[in-house]
Amino acid sequence: MLSNPPIKIHLNAIRLHQKIRIMALQLTDSNFETTVLKSDKVAVVDFWAEWCGPCRMVGPIVEEIAKEYDGKAVVGKVDVDNNPETAMKYGIRSIPTILFIKNGNVVDKQVGAVPKAQLVDILNKHLS
């Protein structure tokens, strides 16, 4: 009977899939400085909230960018309801707002739901 080998192979496949799955970082008031401001990479920071319809449209785009730019940029999301200090510090009044931060400074900003190509163009501009 071959019940054990398939189970082991299946578990290894799941573990491999979990390692490959790249997601946007969950940024908080407590980890924002170390993860974003002190990073040597450009950061793409999506300020959003669960109740925001346009934020739910932008969310999957941010996840795609996180996967595609893994190792090249820091890509994360700040839930403004749970992290008011960071949202207030950056004057976030409308969501979604996406900030592009380089060397601890905001170098670009996009407010509202926009196509992925527009965000990628901005990011690429700051990567060079």
Predicted pLDDT at 22: 76
List 27, 52, 65, 95, catalytic entry:
52
Percent of the chain with pLDDT over 70: 84
Q: Does position 4 have pLDDT exceeding 80, yes or no?
A: no
Task: Determine which one of 42, 43, 55, 75 is catalytic.
Answer: 55
Q: Which residues contact 42 (CB under 8 A, 6 or more apart)?
A: 73, 74, 100, 101, 102, 107, 123, 126, 127
- Tens digits of residue pLDDT in 44-81: 999 999 999 999 999 999 999 999 999 999 999 999 99
Which pTM value belongs to this model?
0.82
Model confidence band, residue 106 (pLDDT cutoffs 50, 70, 90): very high
Residues in the chain: 128
Q: Contact 67/100 with Cβ under 8 angstroms?
A: no
Query: How high is the mean pLDDT of the chain?
Result: 89
CATH of domain 22-127: 3.40.30.10
Give CA separation, 54 vs 21, 45, 95, 96, 102, in Å: 24, 15, 8, 7, 25
3 state SS of 56: helix
Active site includes 95?
A: no
- Establish whether 93 is a catalytic residue: no
